[in-house]
Structure formats: structure tokens, C-alpha cells
Amino acid sequence: MRKPRLDHIGIAVRSIEEAGLFRELGLTVEHVEIVETQKVKTAFIPVGDANLELLEPTSADSPIAKFIEKRGEGIHHICLRVESIDEQLANLKGKGYRLVNESAVPGAHGCRVAFLHPAAGNGVLIELSEKHEEHVTAPEDDLEAIL
């Protein structure tokens, strides 16, 4: 199996619009997606082979709004791209690691994703993502579940 690669770093922000530093550094937002199920607006900013994923809450009861309320803006999660998310989850479950998602759920860009509990990742919320290379972005993807 191929080794996992860094896919993106999720950053909780109050406003994507006002997160000007990354633009100032010459980076550009490539993909914006509203995820109704998570009450979050996401903006992907490619940086080399990986991305920054800005996460802006779209309502006060969004998990991201709660995160910002408790801890302020900042790094929310790190996402690793894996070859087989099912195999990785089965292996971790078998070894007793705490998982947020017992099985993969639909994520941004048509990926399948699962979150591991921060207790499993030395205090860091880790997202695993299996990419579907053949996926072509369609307008209806904008409402797909993510995070």
C-alpha cells in the first residue's frame, strides 16, 4: 500500500473573505464549497501538492462556530490522503484507536473521508481521505457533505 500523503490542513476562520494573508502571499483560492450538513463554507487554497482548507461557519450552531468560540481561530484538523480508507479504518479499529467516524463518509471533491479522534492523534484531529481521481467536479457537488 502507498504511504499516506498530506492532503490539506483545515483552518477555522471567522471569515474567508477577511483571511487576506494567504492572498497577500500570492496564493489563490481554487475551490469554494458550502457544506450544508456541517454548516460550513470551505475554501481550498493549493500550496504545492497540498492545500489549506479555510473553514468558515455558516451558522452559530456549526461545529466550526463552536470550535472558534472555545479555542479561537486556528488549525482545526490535518488531512492525510490514503490509498484505501476502509483498510486503514479496519486496521486502526482493530488496534483500539478511537475514531469519530467508524466508516467513511462523503467529503469534498467526491472524496471518502473519516475523522479520527484527537485522542488517537496526540491531540490533533486527523482526517483520512481517499481520493477518487476520476471524479469530475459538477455544480451539484457544492452541496455534498464534507469536513
The answer to whether 82 contacts Zn ion (rule: CB under 5 A) is: no
Q: Closest separation between CB of residue 49 and Zn ion, Å?
A: 16
Binding residues for Zn ion, total number by CB under 5 A: 4
Residue 37 CB, nearest distance to Zn ion (Å)? 14
Query: Which residue from 11, 19, 40, 79 is in contact with Zn ion, where contact means CB under 5 A?
Result: 79
The nearer residue to Zn ion, 4 or 96, going by C-beta atoms, is: 4
Q: Transcribe the chain into DSSP letters.
A: -PPPEEEEEEEE-S-TTT--HHHHTT----EEEEEGGGTEEEEEEEETTEEEEEEEESSTTSHHHHHHHHH-SEEEEEEEE-S-HHHHHHHHHHTT--BS-SS-EE-GGG-EEEEEPGGGGTT--EEEEE--TT----GGGGGS---
Cβ proximity to Zn ion: between 43 and 139 the closer is 43
Binding mask 6-35 for Zn ion (x = CB under 5 A): ----x-------------------------
Q: Which residues bind Zn ion (CB under 5 A)?
A: 10, 53, 79, 127
